[in-house]
Amino acid sequence: MNIIVSDFTGDNFHFRTDNTLTRDCFNDYYLPDFLDGTVVSAGIAFRLDKPAKRVQQEFAHRYITSFTPGLILYGIPAKGIIGESAQTIRISLDQSTIIPLGLQQTDSVQNSVLTLKTGTANHRYNLNSKIITETVKLLLEKLSGFFTFKTGDIIFAEFERLPLNKPNDTISLESNQSALVDLRIR
């Protein structure tokens, strides 16, 4: 299984290994010693139902029928770690792609507000059927032009990346004020 992380335009993307995936969402997250901090991003994870290559937008609904909100943590490598090593560390921390819920069907989306809380800041993202449908169409068309998807692959469409500045900072992700993720960075 591959995890492809993209912005909502499909213009910027990268791969994450499957060892980054977890459902464990109510614990402490211990930073490795080689990190100076973390960056967090909320988003939507879409699961591929069958193999896909060069899919046109009007056929996207045949390949992706389920989604769930999630969270991604990125590492900020310590000073002295540079180049490709720094980029690898940044995107491949163990258990840093957090998908807390089972999948929901894309054709039964209810309007909801996804709230990412970091320390004292709250960031709200509206989710509705139009956003989900349009994101699926755009990302699958763009990304399937670059590589072939397998059944079970995940496309994670991320919102903005937000730095966590303090030790013991907390991260929570809520959907309509119901907690999905609650982490303390240690």
The domain locations on the chain are 3-185
Could you report the per-residue pLDDT of 137-162, keeping only the tens digit for each?
999 999 999 999 999 999 999 999 98
pLDDT of residue 157: 97
**CATH code given to domain 3-185:** 3.90.850.10
* Residue (of 37, 36, 21, 33) closest to 169 by Cα position: 37
Radius of gyration of the chain (CA): 16
Could you report the per-residue pLDDT of 125-136, keeping only the tens digit for each?
999 989 999 999
3-class secondary structure, 145: coil
Tokens at 58, concatenated: 């009007």
Tokens at 121, concatenated: 């800041």
d(CA 141, CA 9) in angstroms, rounded, equals: 11
Least confident of 64-68, 92-96, 111-115: 92-96
- Is residue 8 very low, low, confident or very high in pLDDT (cuts 50, 70, 90)? very high
- Is residue 48 very low, low, confident or very high in pLDDT (cuts 50, 70, 90)? very high
Check whether 167 has a pLDDT greater than 70.
no
Strands 21-22, 97-98: pairing is parallel
d(CA 2, CA 146) in angstroms, rounded, equals: 14
pLDDT of residue 165: 63
pLDDT of residue 82: 86
Check whether 166 has a pLDDT greater than 80.
no
